[in-house]
């Protein structure tokens, strides 16, 4: 970490040319850890307080960056749109994944999260009329088949995922993850249509403020009666600052230095780290079926987003 710019460096330093491969791997490792930290926090805080604390900490981390960049007027001008996308892109997904992690593994949650680009392509086709060729349609079919197979094994008879923090059936947890990724897909198209040209850091900060406001009252209502321990607090601090605030900075820099197509593909890699963290720190198990379904989902998502194409043709523009 010492060789990279800190969170308080100037905006110029954040956008200076750097090898994108290092940022790519680092971002995958950081986002993969978010499932671990949320799992630790949600056991003591509960889903909605966990989601609210993640957004609040991230907003507190990002807002000074907006001020240093002199972009507060942009945030004030576009607060309605950025706050709204915060509900779609942060508040609902954070709450859904926190709820899911009460009963399914961090690795399974991360694998389902890898379908975000696939759902994004589907929403863009339905809403923005993005063209889908035969290769991309095939990718959607393959990807959804992989999700169905993974969900069937995870929630059917003999499922290895058991609720240990709350009486949440794994089927509801998988559904919560899918709701989260659909929200991510919708918010991506919304941002493309209504927030183009707005500095990404402004969108990030505004979205986290919007998520904080949207989750505040439910989180206060469901705040745990017993004060959570230090481990849970540290986990939420890590997921807010590192996995949300710092991750946004790396993500936006990756888009600038490597292009959106490569930045998008980071979701294919982060399940590797999430599974590894779950095995090392939570004692989670990984089955051949889970890995096979993950491969099917990644292949389908790569096809549906145009990152992988069958046959000859022009490569998608970054």
The per-residue pLDDT for range 226-266, each reduced to its tens digit, is: 999 999 999 999 999 999 988 878 887 777 677 665 676 78
Q: What pTM does this model have?
A: 0.81
What was the pLDDT predicted at 119? 80
> To which residue do tokens 């096809």 refer?
303
Nearest to 42 by CA among 165, 226, 211: 165
Q: How confident is the model at residue 147 (pLDDT cuts 50, 70, 90)?
A: confident
Write down the pLDDT at residue 208: 94
Mean pLDDT of the residues in the chain: 82
Residue 212: partners with Cβ closer than 8 Å, 6 or more residues away: 52, 55, 56, 59, 86
- Residue scoring higher pLDDT (42 or 165): 42
Q: Is residue 82 part of a domain?
A: yes
pLDDT at residue 21 in the model: 79
44 domain-assigned: yes
- As a whole number of angstroms, the distance between CA 117 and CA 211 comes to 22
Domain span at residue 254 reads 18-114+163-272
Q: How many domains does the chain have?
A: 1
pLDDT at 75: 94
Residue 296 belongs to some domain of the structure: no
Tokens coding 31: 């986002």
- The mean per-residue pLDDT over the stretch 127-148 comes to 81
- pLDDT at residue 95 above 50? yes
Q: Where are the alpha helices (DSSP H) in 161-315?
A: 170-194, 200-221, 230-240, 247-258, 260-264, 266-282, 288-304
Which two tokens mark 45?
């805080």
- Assess if residue 39 is contained within a domain: yes
User: What pLDDT was estimated at residue 2?
Assistant: 37
Segment 38-44 shows an average pLDDT of 94
Residue 217 lies in a domain: yes
Compute φ and ψ for 46, nearest 5 degrees: 95, 160
Task: Please count the other Cβ atoms lying within 10 Å of the Cβ belonging to residue 296.
Answer: 18
**Any domain includes 133:** no
Q: What is the pLDDT of residue 168?
A: 66
Scanning the structure block, which residue is given the tokens 């209502």? 221
Residue count of the chain, please give it: 318
pLDDT band at 3 (very low <50, low <70, confident <90, very high): very low
C-alpha span between 148 and 46 (Å, rounded): 28
123 Cβ contact partners less than 8 Å away, ≥ 6 residues apart: 182, 185, 186, 188, 189
In contact, 72 and 211? CB cutoff 8 Å: no
Going by pLDDT thresholds of 50, 70 and 90, the confidence category of residue 64 is very high
User: Which residues have a Cβ under 8 Å from the Cβ of 168 and sit 6 or more positions away?
Assistant: 99, 102, 103
Q: Per-residue pLDDT for 81 more than 90?
A: yes
Residues 202 and 11: beta-carbon distance below 8 Å: no
Report how far apart, in Å, the C-alpha atoms of 167 and of each of 172, 174, 220 are.
11, 14, 22
pLDDT above 70: percentage of residues in the chain: 83
pLDDT tier at 155 (50, 70, 90 boundaries)?
low
- Judge contact between 171 and 155, C-beta under 8 A: yes
- In this predicted structure, what is the pLDDT of residue 38? 96
> Assign residue 70 a region: left if phi > 0, alpha if psi is -120 to 50, beta otherwise?
left
Q: pLDDT at position 73, please? A: 95
Residue 10 lies in a domain: no
Ramachandran region, residue 306 (left: φ > 0; alpha: ψ -120 to 50; beta: rest): left
Helix ranges, 4-78 (H): 11-14, 20-45, 47-69, 72-77
Question: Looking at the predicted structure, is the pLDDT value of residue 193 above 90?
Answer: no
């Amino acid at each position: 970490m010492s060789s990279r710019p800190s969170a308080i460096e100037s905006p110029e330093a954040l956008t200076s040319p750097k090898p994108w491969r290092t940022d790519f791997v680092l971002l995958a490792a950081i986002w993969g850890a978010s499932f671990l930290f949320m799992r630790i926090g949600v056991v003591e805080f509960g889903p909605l307080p966990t989601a609210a604390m993640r957004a609040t900490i991230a907003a507190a981390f990002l807002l000074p960056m907006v001020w240093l960049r002199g972009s507060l007027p942009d945030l004030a001008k576009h607060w309605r749109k950025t706050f709204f996308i915060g509900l779609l892109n942060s508040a609902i997904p954070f709450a859904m994944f926190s709820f899911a992690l009460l009963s399914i593994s961090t690795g399974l949650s991360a694998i389902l999260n890898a379908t975000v680009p696939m759902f994004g392509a589907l929403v863009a086709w339905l809403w923005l009329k993005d063209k889908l060729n035969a290769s991309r349609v095939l990718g959607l079919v393959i990807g959804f088949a992989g999700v169905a197979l993974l969900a069937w094994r995870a929630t059917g008879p003999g499922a290895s995922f058991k609720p240990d923090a709350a009486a949440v059936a794994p089927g509801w947890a998988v559904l919560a993850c899918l709701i989260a990724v659909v929200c991510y897909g919708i918010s991506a198209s919304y941002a493309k249509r209504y927030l183009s040209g707005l500095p990404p850091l402004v969108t990030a900060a505004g979205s986290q403020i919007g998520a904080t406001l949207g989750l505040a009252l439910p989180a206060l209502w469901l705040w745990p009666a017993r004060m959570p321990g230090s481990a849970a607090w540290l986990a939420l601090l890590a997921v807010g600052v590192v996995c949300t605030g710092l991750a946004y900075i790396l993500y936006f820099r990756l888009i600038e230095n490597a292009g959106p197509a490569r930045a998008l593909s980071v979701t294919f890699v982060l399940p590797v780290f999430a599974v590894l963290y779950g095995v090392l720190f939570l004692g989670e198990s990984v089955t051949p079926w889970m890995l096979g379904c993950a491969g099917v989902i990644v292949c389908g998502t790569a096809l549906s987003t145009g990152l992988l194409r069958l046959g000859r043709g022009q490569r998608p523009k970054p």
